[in-house]
Chain A
């Protein structure tokens, strides 16, 4: 279990550094779409929600999972769609 902890923390620290490096280069024009894009990406919680909803768990647990799955899916759909809608509007001339 402690090996788990070590490797997960390792992944977290590296991903944070990559995130800081990449986000720092994002165009200032695009901060609003950036926020809706990262929002859709962090709805990766959908992965956990699917397992809780779809596996053979007690009913109450599956209901919690289904609400979480609904919430994540809403973020994925609306997040990516509105990001694209906003990005389409940015024209050079």
Chain B
């Protein structure tokens, strides 16, 4: 029986690695899902068939409710995928925190000999599991709430003097209690201390996310992803289960790599994202000369696009908000039919989570061969006839190249300003998330199209005689 358990753990690990390996190409990626499902089924069945599992009705019940909630959660509109992802990090953290709590009180309340099992190593892993699990739980819930724009969770970063001191103090207190527990795992006050750690971790998760705003979400979701993975690793250490350690480590390293890529794409460090609230009121940039926007009509814009040989569309969060991806597709069809080469320039942090724009455009049936990464499209921008900006702002702001006083300074941008003509679709005249004016919009060769992205693009498509084929 023990052998079967070990072998199935090895098999599941191998399948999980293959699942991730196949994600290197969209052609093989769906195989990865099959590998993942198979690995997970093997692991679940091998555990379930252990003789110590006797309350089968409980297991069946909890699994059934999991299906009842999980299936609808997998059918959310793709614009809601960032919230769903944050919510699933919350569930992952909750599971780790609860299992850790259950294990600790089992050991504490067990027969006297059981207390011997609480070695310093295992107790440290337990403390780590509970802190990581519960902070990921509340932190991810807050992030999901901000992304879903729940009314009582402020969207804008909330900051107050001494915020970082308070945050670090709460975490330090939890860690200090943890150190005490490691040296006295079975003391008379140990149960309360353990619950204290759990409470402080829950509080820390909330405090950590309060000062974070929308544009930082891709990074924050990636970091929470890494925490959820590490919580699973800690659980593996506690339960002496190698499968948990490997699967958690795979998840953790994925979160880590994505966090690094996101931070690099914003030219910021981890600590800066977590402790340096972005999007606070910024000093106005070059307050002196105020240049005027130049507005273009839909007819004029259509003419510009029709006469172009190549067009680069730069989508941003505004496209997701307006659900404009299907209109973008119709425009893509209309222009392609007229012999215009259309490409999409994807900034790594466009949207609210890594890869957000790619998924939305794929949903609208735009072939992925037309989606081009920032580094590859930038050398082509000077030869581009028209750059069409759809709901993107900070990721095309030339101020990032030289304006040292702004928070976006040093952030790599898509060189929309170097195109021969720029058309920008924008909902309102307000500045972008970072609160900085975008001088791209007042450039001599830029023309603005104000309005909801979906409506504006719809009107544009009509100029091409309906254009879209569906």
Contacts and interface: CB of A to CB of B under 8 A. Distances in A.
B240 A72 contact: no
A86 B43 contact: no
B248 interface: yes
Contact of A32 (B13, B359, B365, B367): B359
A42 B40 CA distance: 10
Contacts of B242: 8, 11
B40 A41 contact: yes
A31 B122 CA distance: 34
Nearest to A45: B95
A1 B48 CA distance: 26
A87 B257 contact: no
Interface string A65-93: 11111111111111111111111111111
Interface in A43-72: 43-58, 60-62, 64-72
A45 B239 CA distance: 10
A38 B254 contact: yes
A46 B47 CA distance: 9
**Chain B binding site: helix, strand, loop or mixed by DSSP?**
helix
B74 A82 contact: yes
Contacts, number: 364
B229 A62 contact: no
Contacts of B106: 52, 57, 61
B74 A78 contact: yes
A36 B32 CA distance: 12
A34 to B, nearest CB: 5
Contacts of B20: 19, 22-23, 26, 34, 37-38, 41
Given A34-B354, A38-B225, A74-B66, 6 more contacts: A32-B81, A44-B232, A51-B47, A53-B59, A69-B63, A77-B66
Interface of B: 12-13, 16-17, 19-21, 23-27, 29-30, 32-33, 36-37, 39-40, 43-44, 47-48, 50, 52-56, 58-59, 61-63, 65-67, 69-71, 73-76, 78, 81, 84-85, 88-89, 91-92, 94-96, 98-99, 101-103, 105-106, 109, 119, 121-122, 221-222, 225, 228-229, 231-233, 235-237, 239-258, 346, 348, 353-356, 358-359, 362-363, 365, 367-369, 371, 373
Closest 6 CB pairs of A and B: A73-B66, A77-B70, A31-B355, A19-B253, A42-B251, A81-B74
